[in-house]
Amino acid sequence: MKQSGSCQCGLITYHFNQEDVLSAHHCHCKDCQRSTGCGKATILYIPSKKLTIEGDLKFYESKGSMGSTIKRGFCGNCGSGVMSYAKELPMLKFIKAGTLDDSSWLKIDSSFFSNSAEEWNAPVKDLKCYEGNPDMLSSLKNVIKSL
Ligand SMILES: [Zn+2]
Ligand SMILES: [Zn+2]
């Protein structure tokens, strides 16, 4: 099933096939809190090859907890955070779930960084929960390489 999304003003759009989504997560890290202005970011993991983005994203670069460099892509016009990735693993992209045109189908697999989650936006009960970064990137590396 084809899925699509966009930033708030519509200058950035993207699409992909739902079957190509690897997993979905809530991230409660402080950087996600600051960049979204919310208690957490909700992200979808998708192989870069399977994602088509139209429009020019701007990127803000910062250091991730595992020493990686995180590039957060946003619309230069409306400021919506749309997609991010780790510079060391460019073959995997993280889409911000709130930018999907329809996100009703989304199933979340786990929460990251419960150690910096706030009580007013606590990790969802009964969901697998990691205190920090579960380092899924290195385990996903092989999966992605085989695609
Ligand atoms: Zn925009
Ligand atoms: Zn985060």
Find out whether 143 and 137 touch, Cβ atoms under 8 Å: no
Give the Å distance between the CA of 104 and the centre of ligand 1: 22
Residue type for position 74:
F
Q: Look up the CATH number of domain 2-135.
A: 2.170.150.70
The pLDDT value recorded for residue 143 is 65
Please name which of 65, 62, 41 lies closest in space to residue 136, comparing C-alpha atoms.
65
The pLDDT value recorded for residue 144 is 67
The pLDDT value recorded for residue 139 is 66
- Residue ranges with CB less than 5 Å from ion ligand 1: 7, 9, 11, 75, 77-78
* C-alpha count within 13 angstroms, C-beta hemisphere, residue 145: 7
Give the Å distance between the CA of 16 and the centre of ligand 1: 19
| Domain positions in the chain | 2-135
Whether the pTM exceeds 0.75: the reply is yes
* Other residues' Cβ atoms within 10 Å of the Cβ of residue 79: 11
Q: Which residues of the chain have pLDDT under 70?
A: 136-147
* Other residues' Cβ atoms within 10 Å of the Cβ of residue 43: 23
Give the Å distance between the CA of 32 and the centre of ligand 2: 4
